[in-house]
Amino acid sequence: NQTILLKSRPSGKPTLANFDLTTTEIGTPGDGEVLLRSVYVSVDPYLRGRMSDAPSYVPPFEVGKPISSGIIAEVIESKSDRFQKGDYVSGSLEWKERQVAKAKGLQQVDPGKAPLSAYLGVLGMTGLTAYLGLTEIGKPKSGETLVVSGAAGAVGSVVGQIGKILGLRVVGIAGTDEKVDMLTSEFGFDAGINYNTTEDMSAAIGAACPDGVDVYFDNVGGDISDAVLFHINKFSRTINCGAIAVYNSKELPRSVSVRPFLVKNSALMQGFIVSNYADKFPDGVRQLAQWLQEGKITHKETVREGFDTIPQAFLDLFDGKNTGKMVVNVKK
């Protein structure tokens, strides 16, 4: 039974040496438990934080213990009246091919309503992050300008599409020309900027946002965000959703140069953690599913194959190798 453990804590950018592919006993389910076979494993930038031992909003992974993330699994055997053999569930589970888990804490997902992997993306944690971050903190109004960083990724691509549904001008920032093309051709953004080939990001943002920036959905932090914040409007709202540009930094981030702009513009900047909005998940999933069904949003995925590719899929997030949600299909 293949299992992936945290072998060592990374210093700076993680590498394959931080992971250990090993085997473990499967175990048998007791009362209220199920035996699961993993089908899709989610890899997410926030797992980088859990590989360190710095205190955060989720406890760190333990060295020598399995890593966990969002997983879609099939119920192989059930000792719970909540699930039957053959059901599919979603939950925070360990990176194991098979495992015994408590039924409590798992949610049933319906493969008849959406592809299973969508429950890790647009209908799961990343879709909810996009929807709730944008609406709860961004409070967007039709006609306003929204800038999204990490725009071609799982969260960013959904944020931009929701922005269009809500009647905003949407500008996305991403790392390759292919992604920038996709922002306008597939996700309906009004404009895109490639931060890797643009010398003067501030000028590019100014040109793409002639009326300034009312809502900034920030997935990356660092220099890109400083450049955006120079263009914020009075009473603008910035959602600090993530800061992947600095997750591997060994020094404290120094992104403070634009603070006077926040003061001058009475601007709001608020950190967002999706789990704080759990009471809004059912309505959020309903809304996202409806938009998906109506064809108002599309969801892209980058799907890797094979249990042993999970660590590399995770590492590739930091090199922008994914478009949309990165998932690993581990079903044999």
Cα Rg of the chain, angstroms = 20
Query: What CA–CA distance (Å, rounded) separates 109 from 126?
Result: 16
Stretch that binds ligand NDP, among 31-39, 253-261, 271-279, 281-289 (CB under 6 A): 271-279
Stretch that binds ligand NDP, among 84-92, 139-147, 303-311, 312-320 (CB under 6 A): 312-320
Closest separation in Å from C-beta 139 to ligand NDP = 17
What letters, b where the CB count within 10 A reaches 16 and e where it falls short, cover 207-225?
ebbeebbbbbbbbbbbebb
| CB-nearer residue toward ligand NDP: 29 or 138 | 138
The interface with ligand NDP within residues 154-183 (CB under 6 A) comprises 154-156, 174-176, 179
The answer to whether 38 touches 71, Cβ cutoff 8 Å, is yes
Find the helix or strand (DSSP H, E) in which 183 lies: helix 177-185
Closest separation in Å from C-beta 143 to ligand NDP = 26
| CB-nearer residue toward ligand NDP: 75 or 174 | 174
Find the helix or strand (DSSP H, E) in which 93 lies: strand 88-94
What is the torsion angle, in degrees rounded to the nearest 10, for the CA atoms of residue 238, residue 240, residue 243 and residue 244?
Answer: -90
The answer to whether 313 touches 292, Cβ cutoff 8 Å, is no
| CB-nearer residue toward ligand NDP: 1 or 196 | 196
| CB-nearer residue toward ligand NDP: 79 or 164 | 164
Beta bridge partners of 327: 42, 303
CA-closest candidate to residue 60, choices 120, 124, 6: 6
| CB-nearer residue toward ligand NDP: 212 or 320 | 320
Enter the tokens of residue 249. 């930094």
| Chosen residue from 138, 140, 153, 160 binding ligand NDP by CB under 6 A | 153
The answer to whether 103 touches 82, Cβ cutoff 8 Å, is yes
Closest separation in Å from C-beta 86 to ligand NDP = 30
C-alpha dist (Å) from residue 243 to 34, 46, 48, 238 = 36, 9, 11, 13
Residue 90 in contact with ligand NDP, rule: CB under 6 A:
no
| Chosen residue from 198, 280, 320, 331 binding ligand NDP by CB under 6 A | 320
| CB-nearer residue toward ligand NDP: 220 or 285 | 220
- The contact mask relative to ligand NDP for 217-256 (x = CB under 6 A, - = no) is --xx---x----------------xxxxx-----------
Residue 318 in contact with ligand NDP, rule: CB under 6 A:
yes
- The contact mask relative to ligand NDP for 99-138 (x = CB under 6 A, - = no) is --------------------------xx--x---------
Closest separation in Å from C-beta 108 to ligand NDP = 22
Query: What CA–CA distance (Å, rounded) separates 97 from 3?
Result: 7
CA-closest candidate to residue 183, choices 214, 150, 212: 150
Closest separation in Å from C-beta 25 to ligand NDP = 32
Stretch that binds ligand NDP, among 2-10, 64-72, 93-101, 268-276 (CB under 6 A): 268-276
> Between β-strands 169-174 and 98-102, what pairing exists: parallel, antiparallel or unpaired?
unpaired
Q: Is the dihedral of CA 309, 314, 319, 324 positive or negative?
A: positive
Chain residues binding ligand NDP by CB under 6 A are 44-46, 125-126, 129, 150, 152-156, 174-176, 179, 219-220, 224, 241-245, 272-274, 317-318, 320, 322, 326
